[in-house]
Amino acid sequence: MPMQIGEKEFKQRVTKGLDDNFMRGAVRSAQGRLQNNRASAADELGDWEDWRTLGKEIRQHTIEHLDYYLHQLSEKVAELGGNVFFAETAEEANEYVKNVVKSKNAKKIAKSKSMVTEEISMNEALEELGCDVVETDLGEYILQMDDHDPPSHIVAPALHKNKEQIRDVFRDKLGYEKTEKPEELALFAREKLREEFLSAEVGITGCNFAVAESGSFALVTNEGNARMVTTLPETQITVMGMERIVPGWEELDIVVSLLTRAAVGQKLTSYITALTGPKQSEEGDGPEEFHLVIVDNGRSKILGTEFQEALHCIRCAACINVCPVYRHVGGHAYGSIYPGPIGAVLSPLLSDYDEYKDLPYASSLCGACTEVCPVKIPLHEQLIAHRRNIIEEDKKGSLAEKVAMKGFGQMAGSANLYQMATKMAPILSTPFSSKNQIRKGLGPLKHWTESRDFPKPANESFRSWFKQRNKRGVQHDVRKH
Amino acid sequence: MTLGNIENRERFLSNIRDKIGGLSADKPVQKPNWSTQPQYRVLKDQNQDQLIKVLKDQCKHIHTDFYHTDEQHLDETLNEIFEEYGVRSIVYTCDSRFQDHKVDTSLKQSGLDTWEWDDNEKEASIQFSEKADVGITFSDITLAESGTVVLFNGQGKGRSVSLLPQNYIAIIPKSTIVKRMTQATEKIHKQVENGEDISSCINFITGPSNSADIEMNLIVGVHGPIRAAYVVVDDI
Amino acid sequence: MKVSLFITCLGDVFYVNAGKSAVELLEHLGCEVDFPETQTCCGQPAYNSGYHRETKEVAKHMIEVMEDADYVVGISGSCVYMIHEYMHLFEEDSKWRDRAIALKEKSYELTQFIVDVLNIEDVGASYQAIATYHTSCHMTRLLGVQEAPFKLLEKVKGLELVDLPNRQDCCGFGGTFAVKMSNISEQMVDEKVDHIEETKANLLLGADGSCLMNIGGRISRRDKQVEVKHIAEILNSRGDR
Ligand code: SF4
């Protein structure tokens, strides 16, 4: 699945989202739970702000020395007998993985959840080879069965579906005969996927964090599928976005502690699996062969810019879980596999403004995202920076808006013009108002008054009241009380 | 051990270096002094017995059955769990601690179908594990805060034992209990620093497997074990 | 204490009573209030839309107008926050940056000023109503004023204050967002109005004209019987009116 998903036009996608009551109900309740879980986990830990500060410092230091740590990582992996491939583009990454799979003559590939492989359309590339690629994360499996419905959330990809819809997918595609009870659905998937794990020749995983000092990888999961994928197949391929790395184990502790709490409110998820190289020769299970693919795919464009902090992201989705815009439009409306606030920041960076110029505006700048981000990425400020870039550098703003803003700048930058404008307000709006509210506005107000009334300007502005009052000589409060 | 290949590294890293103004990769980078280290404040001053209490309480949140026993009564406790879980077949790791604490003899005498993990019989071991009712391992480090057992898998200690069976039992020597992940990662970091090999697969296991992918409802038992029990053992 | 009032655009033109009340209230609390007449808008509409060059002109003007004040007190948390942001506009211009920082340091939102600077929590107000309070995003999260409005409202005689469910949620205003993404914004403000209705309050209070205009506009469109007022109006009520 490429990064871009859904209809071409942002407006269409939004309307589709707003009209989807099923989805909105599912998202609303999921957000509620996730928000509560996160908040209580943070409270329980105590010192949450200190944890965030430390998380931010670690991420910042790592990204500022990314070349060093990636070098160290690759050295360690190679020492352990693993192969490392640095892929600048999606094509390079897919080509490499395809070659590994071909050399193994593999037919079945089991995958655990990985956003970066979605981003680079790795499944499609492997399917071209005639391979059977099975997503084994329950949420991803559901989507794959549903004719590759795109993910709508980076942690819970099938968040937009309710259990009845999932039951129907299993029934129509897999002959499932039981009810919509989540336990029954999960048990069914467990049995189906067991067969796949046992017969897969290659396992592909993503990577939550690589540990540079030892050449290790941590996979953070609850279901156990990533353990299966790294225990049973003979060959393991791990694909990581180049920023997903920490210097050492002590830093791993911090980012994992932040991730599990911020993402799902757990102290640790059921399984944190830290893998170091292929299995040792004297060991029984585990992969004989290990490949690491480190992917750039546009990330290095972000380095050294005002958006560098976006690379600090640990993909916890806390910002998505609090976002009111996401709540109403759902993940697919963003048109990117990275939705929500981080998606609105990241998608235009990994792709471009042509593709994603609407996303930075899909925010009321309420700052809820910035407040919860466990590594303190100033998400709403980054959205404003995008807007500034779109206007000042990319020159993509609408002409009308530009003229209006220029006028605004001149007006608000000058006392006389400003005062004139404020004086004009009541006069100009009088013909359109009933009582004290305007029900049908013109120009930009038109959109406003589609759903809300607009107040009628007061007959006497504050400034003229104040002037009169001073003339009358009222200085200090002389009213009796 | 043969060295692995590294491909396309120089071009990739020099591009990064250009952007961040980095020095050359062989100049060691010093980690800064972090301005705050809250991880050391968690459960500070708690002694071993208090940590057991923390672990026990946490088990309630992670859907894990908690038992506390001593070496003498360990086999009794295990049998109790076997009964509770309806266990007929058992796989356990090839770990000297099973002999040291006579667990293996009591398992073998239990009349249940048992299998000790055998690296040389990989396929058979996996097949047995896959069908087994329970997998048993010792915990190498135990994290009280999160209710986590840390397993250093390796020779004799197959990854599958704690993963494939229906149920999982971790035997937790009291002395392995530490406050939180910080103490475990510190230990691993020291090993790395001293140039020691670390386990090829370190599992941090916190209860049974689960998923919340369907309407954020917690379902316990997805790909890994469906039930889990921790047995804390005094004196070992 | 000498205070220069920062009235904000909406306060100047639409919510005139909020400004009047703020003046009277501050005077009642012993302050001398002046109104620098050449003040304009804080520039936030342009800033949030990405027009930072234009914002800079506005910021310079506002700095010039306000920098002689002892204290600047604004009646909108969001606009006061904008003043606090000016310094970031001048990353490469240390002279203006310093002036922006100096202004930031003496600029307060009204309730923040009363509680933190004047150290007053009981302003001697009384008002009969069942009210709920909307915590606006910029004031709470960015300016960091969380407790002050509640401390003041709790002391108002006759006022029953009920909790607004999901009060941390944005009302959907967001400046041009309400116009550019009006269908999303509508859903957000609708949710807010639903929550307000749940409280059964007959009065909605807030410290940000823009949020009040947004929520109030939706309340009025949905013909709900909830009055909308700026917190200053309540704090300036003494039951004799
Ligand atoms: S931006 Fe922050 S909150 Fe959002 S996913 Fe990344 S780390 Fe989590």
Residues with CB under 6 A from ligand 1: A 262, 313-319, 342, 372-375, 377, 379
Q: Which of B189, B206, B215 sits opposite A182 (nearest CB)?
A: B215
Asked if C175 is an interface residue toward chain A (Cβ–Cβ < 8 A), one would say yes
Asked if C137 is an interface residue toward chain A (Cβ–Cβ < 8 A), one would say yes
Q: Between residues 66 and 125 of chain C, which touch chain A (CB distance below 8 Å)?
A: 124
Distance CA(A301)–CA(B59), nearest Å, equals: 45
Q: Look at the block and give the residue holding tokens 């003007």.
A: C61
Q: Which CATH number covers residue C136?
A: 3.40.50
Q: Where are the domains of chain A?
A: 55-295, 399-472
Beta bridge partners of B151: B203
Distance CA(C88)–CA(A39), nearest Å, equals: 31
Asked if B127 is an interface residue toward chain A (Cβ–Cβ < 8 A), one would say no
- Residue C150: exposed, middle, or buried by beta-carbon count in 10 A (0-12, 13-18, 19+)? middle
On whether residue B14 sits in a domain, the answer given is no
On whether residue C156 sits in a domain, the answer given is yes
pLDDT tens by residue, chain A, 481 residues? 678 888 789 999 999 999 999 899 999 999 999 999 999 999 999 899 999 999 999 999 999 999 999 999 999 999 999 999 999 999 999 999 999 999 999 999 999 999 999 999 999 999 999 999 999 999 999 999 999 999 999 999 999 999 999 999 999 999 999 999 999 999 999 999 999 999 999 999 999 999 999 999 999 999 999 999 999 999 999 999 999 999 999 999 999 999 999 999 999 999 999 999 999 888 889 999 999 999 999 999 999 999 999 999 999 999 999 999 999 999 999 999 999 999 999 999 999 999 999 999 999 999 999 999 999 999 999 999 999 999 887 666 677 777 778 777 777 777 777 777 777 666 655 545 556 677 877 777 788 888 888 888 888 899 999 988 888 766 554 443 3
Residue nearest to atom 3 of ligand 1 (CA): A373
Q: Tell me, yes or no, whether C139 and C225 share the same domain.
A: yes
Binding partners of C (≥3 Cβ pairs within 8 A): A
Q: Which domain holds residue C44?
A: 2-116
Give me ligand 1 centre to Cα A372, in Å. 8
Q: Which of A86, A268, A279 sits opposite B8 (nearest CB)?
A: A86
**What is the full DSSP assignment across C101-119?**
HHHHHTEEEHHHIIIIIS-
On whether residue B130 sits in a domain, the answer given is yes
pTM of the model: 0.94
Q: Tell me, yes or no, whether C112 and C125 share the same domain.
A: no
Give me ligand 1 centre to Cα C163, in Å. 29
Q: Tell me, yes or no, whether C70 and C40 share the same domain.
A: yes
Edge-to-edge strands, sheet with B134-138 = B64-70, B227-234, B167-173, B134-138, B89-92, B113-116
Distance CA(C101)–CA(C84), nearest Å, equals: 7
Cβ contact, residue pair B219, A182, below 8 Å: yes
Cβ contact, residue pair B35, A54, below 8 Å: yes
On whether residue C59 sits in a domain, the answer given is yes
Residue nearest to atom 6 of ligand 1 (CA): A313
- Check if the beta carbon of residue C47 is closer than 8 Å to that of residue A384: yes
On whether residue C241 sits in a domain, the answer given is no
Q: Give the residue on A whose Cα is nearest the Cα of C49.
A: A387
Model confidence at B46, pLDDT cuts 50, 70, 90, reads very high
Distance CA(A78)–CA(A74), nearest Å, equals: 6
Nearest CA distance, B33 vs chain A (angstrom): 10
Residue nearest to atom 2 of ligand 1 (CA): A373
Pocket of ligand 1, candidates A254, A255, A371, A377: which has the most ligand atoms within 8 Å of its Cβ, to mutate? A377
Tokens of A277: 């190289």
Q: What's the pLDDT tens digit per position in B152-162?
A: 999 999 999 99
On whether residue C178 sits in a domain, the answer given is yes
Q: What residues of chain C lie within 8 A of the CB of A444, using their CB? A: 176, 179
CATH of A55-295, one of 3.40.50.2000, 1.10.10.10, 3.40.190.10, 3.40.50.10420: 3.40.50.10420
Which parts of chain C register pLDDT below 50? Answer: 241
Cβ contact, residue pair A387, C137, below 8 Å: no
Nearest to A65 by CA among B210, C69, B113, B31: B31
Number of compact structural domains in chain C: 2
Model confidence at B1, pLDDT cuts 50, 70, 90, reads low
Cβ contact, residue pair A254, B223, below 8 Å: no
Number of compact structural domains in chain B: 1
Q: Which domain holds residue B165?
A: 46-234
On whether residue C35 sits in a domain, the answer given is yes
Nearest to A285 by CA among B153, B95, B139: B153
Cβ contact, residue pair B25, A87, below 8 Å: no
Nearest to A412 by CA among C78, C125, C231, C53: C53
C-beta atoms surrounding C146 within 10 Å: 12
On whether residue C240 sits in a domain, the answer given is no
Q: Which CATH number covers residue B197?
A: 3.40.50.10420
Q: What residues of chain C lie within 8 A of the CB of A463, using their CB? A: 7, 12, 35, 37
C-beta atoms surrounding A203 within 10 Å: 25
Nearest to A306 by CA among A387, A419, A199: A387
Distance CA(B50)–CA(B46), nearest Å, equals: 6
Q: Look at the block and give the residue holding tokens 């399984």.
A: A271
Q: Which of C23, C40, C46 sits opposite A418 (nearest CB)?
A: C40
